[in-house]
Structure 1
């Protein structure tokens, strides 16, 4: 069962890329149609990534996961690196932990009702369970969890787990300060489904009833966290927890929310006690060495297909060292930053590695800080002046085209350059005002606003060579116009207590990693949403996203998206730059490695990886 891709507006924040969340931050796919599999056979799948020489134990039939039911777990270890960013924690659904880097790990330990294929198409996970629309009015969906699906501690996955899943996304459950009890990344579920999942808490079947049809209904419910652990740690019986949620008894829920928010948080290198972190997926969290690695180990109680390899080790390695580590054998799979130097280095290792290359559903952008007191917060004129001096084409030409000669400047947020509707949306929403650098025009605005010398701190997660170069290009141009550009890249920019969280910046430089979700941009651009980090507010944008959420026809969705883009350009919420090229490398001996355009990147099917004997 597939969900047709309508928009690339879902994203994760991962210093390299963030997660746009309305449900669930970017990469690309494995091999192109007709690629050589390395064993004399020809790949018949439709992955969007070129990967000449890759091998399969089972040939994939489409862009979803291959059938590996015959695979047996090999007592082996495969090392992979997505970058040097530290793992955050088991609960990946808080604003502090919801990132590409953290999600690439936690999505390996939790299973759910579906997943994104290599081309951002949604696939139902029929091994986990099933779902179907049982009523159009009111719009109602029935879910059935597989009979054998259980947590790794032997506890069955039941409706109770999904009642908790709804609770953490329900902003109407508030504390005495009228703030949401749960520090969840998204509030959409609670807004769209007022009563939560209905069904026997100990059973396997539940229904959810929407207030009105919802465009992203199929991806609203997926994996969950263990309700039985939350109940036990809150000195509650499981049925008491469910009753408290359903009766909105916030006093009774406060201990549960406190544990959900903080109980799984630990210092780097320290995992919570084993009984606190059961999993539903093919791997369990095993060993965490702060600043070095995190090992996940095959789940002995897993109810699904056996994983291909006993241990997957996520190594926290600077992406500038990835190619050397691949050559030395210290890494078996890596996703370095896509640069012209990286491409050349990977091509030099053609006898050792498979080069996966394509275009990610990840896009780079500059976002203004609208929090009161900021230089740009109340001045559209200064935002316009800054946009006029940002050399977008030069940035693309110098930093992206050497890797992807077809790269172009991105002029939208809710549609990416490779999508079918991109040109139609841009032609109706953007007039080309910021296509060319206008130093003189920017300088005139600064003079008129008595703002010559305005300091602009551009923050990003460092080290990141391409972003450092991007800031240097902007500084060379915008300083000439009269701004004073400051490179404020830091390791903790997006971390707890970092400059992004405290608002100590003027412009943030980062990427959103996308998926096929239609309405995830609502979590970023709508007023007071969890991922609206810069404090932007526009009632028209709020209204348009509410309309988009309840619109099912693609043509009508596109018209609404055009309206959203017009508003975001008019206000200059931020400045889109480009779609990320993506390069990954995998040891030629490792089978079933396929890159993807989705947020999980090359590790999306890591449970299928296996070294050839």
Structure 2
């Protein structure tokens, strides 16, 4: 998932396939052979997630408010149906047709710009990081407009060479290279395994008061990432003699093996910066040796570098920090203004774009974004969806502006911190977990979910309803059965009397202070906070305004909040997106709140290796029931989504309900006329 920080995706690893709709992981692209995604994005419902039958995915990226348009999907194939020799990362696409010409500039308004070139890290897992990386990094797989998984076999082939044990060989195009001329090699894939598998960690990651990773001690290895799939690759992967093939062997089957391994930051960039070796070949060799020998001194340096060296909010002076292996190269980055990407003339291992330059412009104010579209300053916008934005964008139809309005792939939710000595933490009550659960449940009973829908969402989508599942998307096959079983619908209506009774039963003194964090540049979230605060006050809660410009990077810092409001956006359709949200410890990359339940840990770990759809559904249902019982948090709604673009300037604009949304088919964009 990706934070609509939409949790992530980004999202580049299936381990964190939810992205802050603002968890890591692989971004989705529309197939170049597909038709313009305009109608598909506009008419489709939110993407269904999970297995091919009913189990949807929910771990991802967090969003600061910009959702992408939804598209229906069936989910990734399970390993139980894949014979040896089958596709290891989607259906191979085959050769791509190059555009007749490459020209022009397209400016896209978005509410956040990059904060990191490493979206595989937990703190870098966001939609806005995924956007830039999707433009600049070659992908071994992506999603087409119908959410079919497509293998960009021009860049990398992925072959299942054995079912038992599950073995996959990843082979990289011999011509593929980074923007500094260094070849893309198997060691780049190995870097992802080293950093995400957890096999090399010797201690816990420490963070500062703002939730940013701190350097570890000289002998402590602590990578800021985790992947349930890569954790199952225990044996050191095999590197071919030509350094172009990496072969991984799983100790157990992994349900989403097709989404399991992608390239993140360049291995030679990490090694050169961490180990002080300037020659890229020698640096990578030293990195591999350190991993093979488990040299803690060297690996601690590697982890510290991988965790934070690639974080920046303006153009770095060192090109190693923003290398490209894909269609575009970042050419300029002005803090809080724009990022510019120019076409990579050497890129031949995948779909080639027709637009010479893409600029992502910082456009946090949705109303101003509409005005910039009207003025011709922006050609595409994907702003926070509000009634005023829809009205303003629709009014521009006479200027050739087309509006795509539908449900997105992001869902809004409220989570509660249980690890900060606050009102929802058992520690506050002398370790009394029952009392803390009663206080959490009381607060959740006050959240006016239906009122939020009626006031803020129905003006955009008259048929909008409360989302009553942590893991199932409304309209997907598994949604209705899950809602019937999980108990979350009991919170559809505010129950002030029940909340007061629980607080009295817990014996807590009122008012109970609750610090409530949300994005401070998001008008809708401000309105949500106000509605929640007003309702909760009637039951004995004092909900303190904790709006925060840096909310996404602060999610791990529960010392500053007790409840948090944001969106998760799926970055894959895989079922293994769910465990990182609810597992405890390092495996719970998106569980920032200290939630821990032994049964949930057992069910989610089993889900990662379960390919039977019925068993997946059972495990997810048991997990949701426990989440409701424990007062984990609540879900509000599926995001409405608006994309508007000037057809007089650009054509071919579409999108999917997964990260990277509107950017998903960027190579199909063409300068109009």
1:418 equivalent to 2:408? Answer no
Aligned-partner Cα distance in 2 for 1:300–1:426 = 51
Q: By how many angstroms is 1:219 displaced?
A: 0.3
1:297 equivalent to 2:342? Answer yes
Q: By how many angstroms is 1:261 displaced?
A: 2.3
The 1:451/1:251 distance shift into structure 2, 3 A limit, reads same
Aligned-partner Cα distance in 2 for 1:278–1:357 = 35
Aligned-partner Cα distance in 2 for 1:197–1:482 = 56
1:185 equivalent to 2:175? Answer no
Q: By how many angstroms is 1:302 displaced?
A: 1.0
Deviations 1:334-366 (A, max 9, x none): 111112222111111113212112221211000
**Which residue of structure 2 aligns with residue 210 of structure 1?**
250
Contact 2:230-2:261 at 8 Å conserved across structures: no
Contact 1:15-1:460 at 8 Å conserved across structures: no
Deviations 1:366-414 (A, max 9, x none): 0001114110122111111111111111111111111112211111111
**Which residue of structure 1 aligns with residue 182 of structure 2?**
155
Aligned-partner Cα distance in 1 for 2:653–2:94 = 11
1:444 equivalent to 2:471? Answer no
Aligned-partner Cα distance in 2 for 1:431–1:153 = 52
**Which residue of structure 2 aligns with residue 15 of structure 1?**
5
**Which residue of structure 2 aligns with residue 59 of structure 1?**
none
Aligned-partner Cα distance in 1 for 2:390–2:38 = 24
**Which residue of structure 1 aligns with residue 492 of structure 2?**
435
Aligned-partner Cα distance in 2 for 1:413–1:158 = 38
The 1:223/1:531 distance shift into structure 2, 3 A limit, reads same
1:601 equivalent to 2:661? Answer yes
Aligned-partner Cα distance in 2 for 1:176–1:412 = 34
Aligned-partner Cα distance in 2 for 1:442–1:73 = 64
Aligned-partner Cα distance in 1 for 2:233–2:563 = 36
The 1:389/1:527 distance shift into structure 2, 3 A limit, reads same
Say how many residue pairs are matched: 580
**Which residue of structure 2 aligns with residue 57 of structure 1?**
none
Contact 2:651-2:670 at 8 Å conserved across structures: yes
Identify which range, 313-322 or 537-546, moves more after superposition. 313-322
1:264 equivalent to 2:310? Answer yes
For structure 1, list consecutive stretches of 5 or more residues without a partner in the other structure: 1-10, 38-42, 52-61
**Which residue of structure 2 aligns with residue 105 of structure 1?**
132
Q: How does 1:36-47 map to 2 (within 5 A)?
A: 47=40
The 1:258/1:431 distance shift into structure 2, 3 A limit, reads closer
Aligned-partner Cα distance in 2 for 1:499–1:601 = 23
**Which residue of structure 1 aligns with residue 56 of structure 2?**
none
**Which residue of structure 1 aligns with residue 562 of structure 2?**
506
Q: By how many angstroms is 1:118 displaced?
A: 3.2
The 1:66/1:570 distance shift into structure 2, 3 A limit, reads farther
**Which residue of structure 2 aligns with residue 557 of structure 1?**
616
Deviations 1:276-324 (A, max 9, x none): 4321110111101111011111112212343211211111112231111
TM-score between the two structures when normalised by the length of structure 2: 0.81
Where 2:551 maps in the other structure, the secondary structure is: coil
Aligned-partner Cα distance in 2 for 1:16–1:129 = 27
Deviations 1:207-246 (A, max 9, x none): 1111111111000012332112223332342222212223
**Which residue of structure 2 aligns with residue 406 of structure 1?**
463
Deviations 1:558-603 (A, max 9, x none): 1111111111111111111111111111111312211210110101
**Which residue of structure 1 aligns with residue 531 of structure 2?**
473
1:389 equivalent to 2:446? Answer yes
The 1:232/1:279 distance shift into structure 2, 3 A limit, reads same
Contact 2:6-2:126 at 8 Å conserved across structures: no
Deviations 1:99-120 (A, max 9, x none): 1111111121111210123344
**Aligned residue among 226, 242, 245 for 2:288:** 242
Q: By how many angstroms is 1:190 displaced?
A: 3.9
**Which residue of structure 1 aligns with residue 546 of structure 2?**
488
Aligned-partner Cα distance in 2 for 1:204–1:66 = 19
Aligned-partner Cα distance in 2 for 1:69–1:194 = 40
The 1:272/1:554 distance shift into structure 2, 3 A limit, reads farther
TM-score between the two structures when normalised by the length of structure 1: 0.88
Q: By how many angstroms is 1:177 displaced?
A: 7.2
Contact 1:390-1:478 at 8 Å conserved across structures: yes
Q: By how many angstroms is 1:44 displaced?
A: 9.9
Q: By how many angstroms is 1:532 displaced?
A: 1.3
**Which residue of structure 1 aligns with residue 419 of structure 2?**
371
For structure 2, list consecutive stretches of 5 or more residues without a partner in the other structure: 45-72, 75-90, 206-215, 427-435
Where 2:128 maps in the other structure, the secondary structure is: helix
